[in-house]
Amino acid sequence: MLFWLLYPLHAYWSFFNVFKYITFRTIYAALTALCLVLLLGKWFIKRMQVLQMGQVIRDDGPQSHLAKAGTPSMGGILVIGAISLATLLWADPSNLLVWVGLCIMWGFGLIGLLDDLLKVWHKHSRGLPGRWKLLGQVFFALVAGYLLYSFGEWDTRVSVPFFKEFRPDIGMFYVIFAVLVVIGASNAVNLTDGLDGLAIGPFVVVAAVYTLFSYLAGHSSIASYLQIPYISGAGELTVFCGAMVGAGLGFLWYNSYPASIFMGDVGSLGLGGALGAVAVLIKQEMLLVIAGGIFVLEAVSVMLQVGYFKATGGKRIFRMAPIHHHFELQGWKEPKVIVRFWIISIILGLIAISTLKLR
């Protein structure tokens, strides 16, 4: 919006030239989202308390978590709102890729919101049935795919980190692959959101990695030099990713241990879907496995636990899944689990960036 309103003024005042630079608009999108969350955070927490939108704790989770029952939830509404406003203010509103990313975030966030509301209304941690969640996620992912197919470019090749020219073309199977990436990212972030600040920390790291990759993918000369796919218009996704970084940092102010508010499924599903969408849009789908390794670890731990439990008639690999609960039951204090997972996430983020040269 500001790009349309203010950049044309560069013909009269040279200062307004700065609005054509993606880097400038990304920085201020991040600061805008950060300030919105910080400034509205206390008010939002009080509103959730007044509306009695408190966290419902799993009955089968660690007993130490029962004390968190009633902590205001659905902070993802604030985060998604800040990202949306900052993106619409600082990105080019005519960019299709930005709208696809926003639509995925809104759609997946809506599913999470319904899940959160059902938990509060029924006073139970079950929420929206899994099949309805999945159906909704597939629907919104396919809508985004249709927008790309109808109005944008559709590339069915898959980029593989560490390889220069190995980009297999999987044809129409790419539709299924892209949907799995977005849904997988969304649910993996959701599974990670079990401790104070555990999910939002790695989310900020991954969003920062994709901020860099979006900028590079949208610059033809740099993309050619680094031998990564050039995606026309992907540079504007840098603004979107920057807004995610800023909003995530702002939310961490309130969500760090001990948390004053939780993001809820509206946040974890929406933000995870946004990461998956960006990964698909800039053709760096497989990079998400590295940069978002913490999310992958959490999701895989659940799948292994459930599969092994069913195959062996009740035996377990971990004391509890997702794996962060396993470490809690091993005696690690909650802050130690959180910070160590953050450290691992930063290391994985650096490894992901290193793939730019290790090709």
Averaged pLDDT of the chain: 90
Mean pLDDT, residues 147-160: 81
Q: Is residue 318 packed enough to be buried (19+ CB in 10 Å), middle (13-18) or exposed (0-12)?
A: middle
What pLDDT score does 249 carry? Answer: 98
pLDDT > 70 fraction of the chain, expressed in percent and rounded: 91
Mean pLDDT, residues 43-53: 90
pLDDT > 90 fraction of the chain, expressed in percent and rounded: 65
| pLDDT at residue 77 greater than cutoff 90 | yes
Residue 13: pLDDT band with limits 50, 70, 90: low
The more confidently predicted of residues 56 and 253 is 253
Give the tens place of pLDDT for each residue, 313-344: 888 999 888 999 899 889 899 999 999 999 99
What pLDDT score does 167 carry? Answer: 86
For the four alpha carbons of 292, 86, 44 and 266, in that order, the dihedral sign comes to negative
What pLDDT score does 10 carry? Answer: 59
Domain boundaries, the chain: 2-354
| pLDDT at residue 236 greater than cutoff 70 | yes
3-state secondary structure of 282: coil
* 258 prior amide bond cis, ω within 30: yes
| pLDDT at residue 293 greater than cutoff 90 | yes
What pLDDT score does 65 carry? Answer: 59
Residue 208, phi then psi, degrees to nearest 5 = -65, -40
What pLDDT score does 53 carry? Answer: 81
Size of the chain, expressed as the number of residues it contains? 359
Contact in structure between 263 and 199 (CB atoms under 8 Å): yes
The more confidently predicted of residues 70 and 38 is 38
Give the tens place of pLDDT for each residue, 238-291: 999 999 999 999 999 999 999 999 999 999 999 999 999 999 999 999 999 999
User: For 118-132, 188-202, 308-322, which range has the lowest pLDDT when averaged over its residues?
Assistant: 118-132
String of DSSP letters for 122-136:
HTSS--S-HHHHHHH
What pLDDT score does 59 carry? Answer: 59
| pLDDT at residue 295 greater than cutoff 90 | yes
Tell me how far apart the alpha carbons of residues 285 and 46 are, in angstroms, rounded to a whole number.
39
What pLDDT score does 15 carry? Answer: 65
